[in-house]
Structures are given as structure tokens and as C-alpha cells.
Amino acid sequence: MVPEPLCSVIRKCSSAGKECTSDDRECQSAAVHDGLEITCERDADRMFVYCPPGASQRDSGVVWLLLGLAFFIAIGGSFAFWRFFLRRRTDGSP
């Protein structure tokens, strides 16, 4: 069976989380001991995904907006820097 793409440790909380089957009490106890909480459940293969509290909120839209803004500022700065040196070279300045 193929796991649901939105309910996996990689998608929800990367290396900080654990995937435990419903009958693996040792894995579930270790996850609770580490302070992890059930983020989602995959009914198809009876798996629980444990993540740190608030892990599913890490990739909010604001983060992606700020990342995009930083990308455009970097591109604009690179273009202005390149343009400045191109102009100095055609003026004959060192």
C-alpha cells in the first residue's frame, strides 16, 4: 500500500519525528517519552506519525513569502552590482 503523501514523517516533521505502527507499543512509548505528539494517522497501513509540538506549523505561507522576497532582493542586488561594474568598465574607470 502506498502511504498518503501528506501524512509522513518526511512531509510533516523530517528527522525529528517517528512513524509507529498501531501495534508497536515500544515505538509509541519512546515517541511520547521524547515529547512527540501524534500529528497524523494513516488508516491504510495503521501508522501513526509523531512529531514535536507545532512541527506542522513550520512551513507556513509567511515563511515561503519571505523566502520569495529574499530571493527577489538577491536577484535585484546581483543585477545592480553587475550593472554598476559594467558601466565602470565602459567608462574606462579602473
pLDDT digits (tens, 9 = 90+) for 4-17: 557 777 777 767 78
- Among 60, 47, 46, 42, smallest CA distance to 5 is for 42
Task: Provide the mean pLDDT of the chain.
Answer: 77
Alpha carbon distances (Å) from 42 to 46, 52, 71: 6, 18, 36
Domain positions in the chain are: 9-56, 60-91
Confidence grade of residue 56 (pLDDT, cut at 50, 70, 90): low
Q: Pairing state of beta strands 18-21 and 37-42? A: unpaired
Q: What is the pLDDT of residue 55?
A: 63
pTM over 0.85: no
How far, in Å, CA of 37 to CA of 14, rounded?
Answer: 14
